[in-house]
């Protein structure tokens, strides 16, 4: 069971994805461990997961080649409490969001890249790897401004 305080609230939120409840009844099997999700909710976030839910209505969904902790982090970020994307989680969330075609989560990650301090080359690498057109354009403009400032600074010193 994970506890955290959301950025927009000072109320402690506890979501236990390890046990089914009234809403979260669909089991996901990840690294041999079960997580329980609301299949309708994850279907809104991911067309890939939606297709799996439709194709296998009465079976647990097996998520291969992903880590349990990473899927748990993703669930915390997409559920109504919306755990914030941060400089650690962005690296976990991007591959999952890309593979499961989670446009909403990809958008949140792209906004994080544009608006938060990360090393410039790291931002460019992530934006290029995950085809973030807006982030690449923004970073390109920033790069041109830095280049102009450096050229002006260099020419002013002579």
- The total domain count for the chain is 1
* Signed CA dihedral, 66, 59, 1, 81: sign only: positive
Model pLDDT, residue 157? 57
Edge to edge, the sheet with strand 33-37 lists: 33-37, 26-30, 61-63
Pairing, β 33-37 against β 26-30: antiparallel
| The pLDDT of residue 56 is above 70 | yes
* Residue at 56 is within a domain: yes
* Residue at 8 is within a domain: yes
Model pLDDT, residue 9? 54
Domain extent for 33: 2-116
* Residue at 126 is within a domain: no
* Residue at 150 is within a domain: no
* DSSP conformational letter for 87: T
Look at 149 and 101; give whichever has higher pLDDT.
Answer: 101
CATH code where residue 18 lies: 3.30.710.10
| The pLDDT of residue 104 is above 90 | yes
Model pLDDT, residue 1? 52
Q: Cα–Cα–Cα angle for 142, 74, 106, nearest 5°? A: 35
Which residue in 67, 83, 86 sits closest to 28, CA to CA?
Answer: 67
Model pLDDT, residue 15? 87
Model pLDDT, residue 85? 94
**12 and 3 in contact (C-beta within 8 Å)?**
yes
CA distance 45 to 51: 12
* Residue at 143 is within a domain: no
Q: Where are the alpha helices (DSSP H) in 34-79?
A: 39-45, 47-55, 68-78
Look at 7 and 120; give whichever has higher pLDDT.
Answer: 120
pTM of the model: 0.79
* Residue at 77 is within a domain: yes
Q: pLDDT, tens digit, for every residue of 37-54? A: 999 999 999 999 999 999
Q: End-to-end CA distance of the chain, in Å? A: 62
Q: pLDDT, tens digit, for every residue of 107-155? A: 999 999 999 888 988 998 899 899 898 888 888 777 676 666 666 665 6
Query: If you average pLDDT over residues 68-85, what whole number do you get?
Result: 90
* Residue at 154 is within a domain: no
CA distance 55 to 19: 23
CA distance 4 to 97: 22
Helix axes 120-129, 89-99, angle to 10 degrees: 10
* Residue at 133 is within a domain: no
Which residues on adjacent β-strands are paired with residue 29?
34, 62
Query: If you average pLDDT over residues 64-87, what whole number do you get?
Result: 92
């Amino acid at each position: 069971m994970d506890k955290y305080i959301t950025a927009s609230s000072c109320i402690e939120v506890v979501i236990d994805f390890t046990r089914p409840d009234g809403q979260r009844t669909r089991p996901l099997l990840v690294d041999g461990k079960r997580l329980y999700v609301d299949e309708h909710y994850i279907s809104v976030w991911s067309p890939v997961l939606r297709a799996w839910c439709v194709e296998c209505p009465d079976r647990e969904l097996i998520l291969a080649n992903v880590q349990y902790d990473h899927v748990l982090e993703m669930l915390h970020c997409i559920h109504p409490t919306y755990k914030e994307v941060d400089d650690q989680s962005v690296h976990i969330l991007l591959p999952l969001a890309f593979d499961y075609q989670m446009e909403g989560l990809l958008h949140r990650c792209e906004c994080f890249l544009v608006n938060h301090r990360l090393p410039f080359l790291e931002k460019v690498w992530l934006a290029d790897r995950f085809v973030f057109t807006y982030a690449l354009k923004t970073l390109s403009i920033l790069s041109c401004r830095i280049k102009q400032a450096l050229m002006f600074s260099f020419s002013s010193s002579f």
